[in-house]
Amino acid sequence: MWFLLDGRSPVDAIHAGTPIVVATIGGMVVTLILGLFLQRYRKPDVIEVETYAEPVGSRRKGMIVHVITLAMFIVPFLTIILGILLKSVIDADS
């Protein structure tokens, strides 16, 4: 999209952006494989006999983590949608 705004033709933008997309996908695959490998070979958790109550702030911290994670996916999506809706207002020539 940024290559198109830069003034390149759609075919040139695709050719310029493909290596970036391929590198990103490759990085994600490597990260996934490394994570699965580390998960498989980590030490097992020690199971305690006594059960303890959940700490007071842990539920709130978990909610904050979920909200931040959702925002990481929602904000870029909304930015793309707003860019499409407001493309007549955006000055792409500067």
Q: How many domains does the chain have?
A: 1
pLDDT higher than threshold 60 for residue 50: no
Instruction: Please name the residues in contact with 3: beta carbons below 8 A apart, sequence gap of 6 or more.
Output: 12, 13, 16, 17
Structural domain that includes position 12: 2-85
User: In this structure, is residue 80 part of a structural domain?
Assistant: yes
Q: What pLDDT score does 57 carry?
A: 66
Token pair 């290596």: residue = 19
Give the C-alpha separation, 67 to 2, whole Å.
Answer: 28
Instruction: Please name the residues in contact with 83: beta carbons below 8 A apart, sequence gap of 6 or more.
Output: 1, 90
Q: What pLDDT score does 72 carry?
A: 83
Query: Rounded mean pLDDT of 13-38?
Result: 86
Tokens of 49: 């006999």
User: In this structure, is residue 90 part of a structural domain?
Assistant: no
Burial class (CB in 10 A: 0-12, 13-18, 19+), 58: exposed
Q: Read off the pTM.
A: 0.45
User: In this structure, is residue 67 part of a structural domain?
Assistant: yes
User: In this structure, is residue 10 part of a structural domain?
Assistant: yes
Query: Rounded mean pLDDT of 72-85?
Result: 79
